Chain A
Amino acid sequence: MQRFLDPKVLAGISSLDLLARTVVDGFVAGLHRSPDFGFSQEFAEYRAYTPGDDLRHVDWNLYARTERCYIKRYRGETNSQLTILLDASNSMLYTSGPPSKMDYARFLTAALFYLAIHSQRDAAGLIVFDDEVREYIRPSTRPGQLARLFAGLEHAAPKAQTDFARPFQHFQNALNRRGIAIVISDFYEKPETIMEHVAPLRFRGNEVILFHILDPQEIQPSMRASAVLVDLETDQRLEVIPEYAQTAYRKKIDAHIEQLRSLARGAGMDYQLLLTSQPLDLALREYLTLRQAGN
């Protein structure tokens, strides 16, 4: 099933629904062999009854044997709220080979939505932003929510530059309920600036995951001759020599990633670097791990 998670294979699937189903089914089928993960109505622990607890969760059999009142808790019985913040700036259009960063982000988002709604019964919402909010679909578990989310993804076309300031102020207002917020972006901004705008999401008790999407060529650019580079967002041109791209650039991008990861961890957020050549299960696994920890 692993081959269904390969981004190159997924790039050939035109329907996001089918794509998400393929990815999640393949991923879940792989999880059944793992003893570390479980969800749905699986027993988790006993807790002493305290006044105010729902009497429906009292283990009456245990009370009959011990005359003590315990509350039985299960994993996954609590519905979470998943909100994905998808960067749709022009820089996400970059690709050195299918899929582009934007497509990869779409695949990832679609798979997460499918996993959340079908498997976890979670409410899921979508916010597409660049320098402002382009699309906002409120988290919900209503029937047809998945289709709405997929339609929103389909319409998410990169248009402008990335600006974390204005959209994230809006997110503060939108994310008024505790849940999981996932930010998917290539994060071409100073890490401090990113953290400045993303960290407030955490204040309301949200679990925040940063999925850093990069093309392999952005990590290790191969350049044999001098070239004029054009910024996809600003259209600015710069003549660059191969020696720089092979030495100083790599150091800078590595430092950027490391700083972003460090700041995110410091702010209590999860950070995951995803290359467009990597399978999607890494991101799905990250999501499930975080959700399990949240329960």
Chain B
Amino acid sequence: MGFLAPWFLGGLAVLGVPVFVHLLRHYSATPRPVSSLMFFERGTQSSIRHRRLKYLFLFVLRTALLLLLVLAFANPFMQRSAADANGHLLLIVLDNSFSMRTGARFTDAKREALATLAAKPHGEKAQIMALGGQLEILTQPISDDAQLRSSLESIQQGDGRAGYGELGRTIRSLAESVHTPIDLHLFSDMQRSAMPANFTDMVLPGNATLNLHSVAQGAPPPNWTIESVEAPAELSDPKDPKHSHVRAIVVGFNTPSADKTVSLVVNGKTIATRKVTLPANGRATVDFAPLDVGYGFNRCEVRVDGGDAFPADDASNFAVRRSDPERVLFVHATGDTRSAAYFGAALAAAAQGSFLLQSMPAEQTTDLDPSKFAFVVLSDAAPLPSIFERTLAQYVAKGGSVFLTLSTRAVPRAPIPLWGAAVQDTHNYARSGNAASVGQVDFSNTVLEQAHPGPDNGGWSSVKIFYAAVVDPTQARVAARLNDGAPLLLEKQLGEGHLLLMTSGLENLTNDLPLHPVFVALVDRIARYLSGSERLSSSTLVDSFVQLRAASEPAGTVANVEVTDPDGRRPLSLSEARTAQTFRLARAGFYQIRFANGRDAVIGVNPDRRESNLEPLPQDVQQLWAGSSSGNPSSVPNTALNEMKNRPMSLWWYVMLLALATVIAETAVASGYMGTQREEV
């Protein structure tokens, strides 16, 4: 018992006030007239004694109130022993990240965790967590030993990446609800790569004691792995040397210089092998060209021959889809041949374009089925036959995409097909003599994406716009604006599909965009985005998410998605398949997905390659981490340990509650006295 602010005890001097009021002041009662005193007798002695008794109670209440207020300011505390077994929470965290597949690490860690759980005093609460890609809370704090053991045994090896930062955040949030001391036992290989960029992220709260159980003994074993693979997601011509190649980077961690064999395996069959010499702790690049794969989805992997302690990371998965060039429907106004020429030329020149442009005047589109095309371009928003416009709307709702441009035919109040709005106005910049330029470009947008746009606004600053339509940007995302603020490129989602609208044309009459290099890149990205191939990369990482359906699905239309995991099982239930927006790719291997818009995809999923670096946290960092929570008894001073075991518990709140109760009692008693005096008057 002590006081956190003992100097406030000087306030006890105010206790003299009630002493003065109650003991030193003489009582004076208001006289009460009577007709005669002939029947009364003096009762002075007993009266005074009685009055003093009653006022003494009020005096005690007032004194207690002042005393409690002074005590509250002095903030009393008492040492609460944290060693109470019933007040402990044993928290067992088992690392099941990808690196735990090394040797017998996971088996050792689980065995140690089970031993720790078995040593737990009966009745003490415990909680089990798995530290994989996401910190998985397997049980609530319970004392059922059988359930705890069952939960611990159910933890399997995973492919995720451990993060001690996430562990620290979870424990800190847990400590806000669990006020008992937490004994945290972490069974892990203590990978250095699991450490967050900021050490404070992994610091544990004050009531948590960290016990590290490292299963990585000695120096980290040498490990070679495929760091990255660069391969096309879609391939239309295997003989095209530009696209048909695979580039892999092989890297070694804590490895000596060695000769390694790197193989390209397609659908389980090794189709190419390369010998490469890796320097010590270095990396090497391996190219496989051409990439000869069959039509459809091909499950490929690049594999480096093993010989290390971590064979699970020797391969890297990716999927390549081979298909014939997809057709793109280009609808233009009669007489407009420039647009198709420029767009077709750019599409053919695009780096990974696998498209054939089929241009057609608007009048001839009546019987066309747009679903046979990768996407549709409506040049100058030409008036369409009503049948085709309706067909096109259904095509978009089901996942198709349309690129619309507005050129000289766009006049005020002219309706824009599919867009749901009309042209508000047109700006003829050429007439005023000052061509507009592109002022604002959203480089985070998919079709304009540039990692490091140059000082010339990513190549857009020299583009001149002579004629542009003004469109209401409501319910659309503006990707680029002119220097006068008018939208140039807008994007809108309609059902499962996308609409992309450029308020100027594709020919060189309304702007000079087709004459600039940025036009080719723009067409390439538009084609990849609208055809859907943008979403399908050849490979991705474990624990990344894939979007299964559009966020704003039209009411009344329910489309099932289908996900098949690397083991051939369907992880989504029927109800989930109807409602799930996204899906977490939790395991390494190939996932086969059918999206809500009907498209199929095969995605190669690989563990995070940082898991392949088996170097553990330095010992001093481990001690620092354990010391930050005063958890490691061997590394923490005894005084700090005692502080943890005997934590001060402030009594301020209880003192204030007592003071409040005293105030109420004092008010009641004092008002009672006042009532008596009024009656006497």
Contacts and interface: CB of A to CB of B under 8 A. Distances in A.
B63 to A, nearest CB: 23
Given A226-B51, A227-B29, A101 B35 contact: yes
B47 A230 contact: no
B50 interface: yes
A245 B41 CA distance: 9
* Binding site secondary structure of chain A: mixed
Greatest chain B CB density within 10 A among A226, A243, A249 is at: A226
Contact of B47 (A233, A234, A239, A248): A239
B44 interface: yes
B34 A253 contact: no
A33 to B, nearest CB: 38
A237 interface: yes
A270 interface: no
B49 to A, nearest CB: 10
Interface in A209-247: 215, 218, 224-234, 236-241, 243-245
B41 to A, nearest CB: 6
Contact of B34 (A94, A239, A248, A256): A94
A91 interface: yes
Given A230-B32, A232-B34, A225 B676 contact: yes
A74 interface: no
Nearest to B32: A227
A112 to B, nearest CB: 23
Given A225-B676, A244-B40, A188 B47 contact: no
Interface in B33-77: 33-44, 46-48, 50-51
Contacts of B680: 225, 227
Contacts of B37: 229, 231, 234, 236, 238
The 5 closest A-B pairs by CB, nearest first: A226-B47, A241-B43, A188-B36, A91-B35, A94-B35
Given A227-B29, A228-B32, 15 more contacts: A94-B35, A186-B36, A224-B676, A226-B29, A226-B47, A226-B50, A227-B31, A227-B680, A229-B32, A229-B40, A231-B34, A231-B36, A233-B35, A249-B39, A249-B40
Interface string A185-199: 010100000000000
A91 B36 CA distance: 7
A252 interface: yes
Contacts of A186: 35-36
Contacts of A215: 35
A92 B34 CA distance: 10
B673 to A, nearest CB: 9
A238 B31 CA distance: 9
Interface of A: 91-92, 94, 101, 186, 188, 215, 218, 224-234, 236-241, 243-245, 248-249, 252-253, 256
B272 to A, nearest CB: 110
Interface residues of B, number: 24
B484 interface: no
A91 B33 CA distance: 10
A188 B42 CA distance: 18
Contacts of A188: 35-36, 38
Contacts of B51: 225-226
Contacts of B39: 249, 252-253, 256
Most buried by B among A215, A231, A256: A231
Contacts of A252: 39
Most B CB contacts (10 A, CB to CB) among A234, A238, A243 go to A238
A261 B143 CA distance: 89
A243 B43 contact: yes
A191 B468 CA distance: 124
B36 A244 contact: no
B679 interface: yes
Contacts of A238: 37, 40-42
B548 to A, nearest CB: 82
Contacts of A245: 40
Contacts of A239: 29, 42-44, 47
A83 B624 CA distance: 114
B680 to A, nearest CB: 5
A240 B41 CA distance: 7
19 contacts: A91-B36, A186-B35, A188-B38, A226-B29, A226-B50, A227-B32, A229-B33, A231-B34, A231-B36, A232-B34, A232-B35, A237-B31, A239-B43, A239-B47, A240-B40, A241-B47, A241-B50, A243-B43, A252-B39
Interface centre among B38, B39, B43, B676 (most CB of A within 10 A): B39
A94 B33 contact: yes
Contacts of B41: 238, 240, 244, 248
A194 to B, nearest CB: 12
Interface string B405-447: 0000000000000000000000000000000000000000000
B34 A230 contact: yes
Nearest to A162: B36
Contact of A240 (B33, B47, B48): B47
A245 B676 CA distance: 16
B470 to A, nearest CB: 89
Contacts of A256: 39
B175 to A, nearest CB: 58
A186 B46 CA distance: 30
A245 B44 CA distance: 13
A94 B37 CA distance: 12
Nearest to B41: A244
A118 to B, nearest CB: 33
A253 to B, nearest CB: 5
Given A225-B680, A238-B42, A239-B43, A230 B31 contact: yes
Contacts of A236: 37
Interface centre among A101, A228, A233 (most CB of B within 10 A): A228
A175 to B, nearest CB: 27
A222 B334 CA distance: 114
A230 B41 CA distance: 12
Contacts of B50: 226, 241
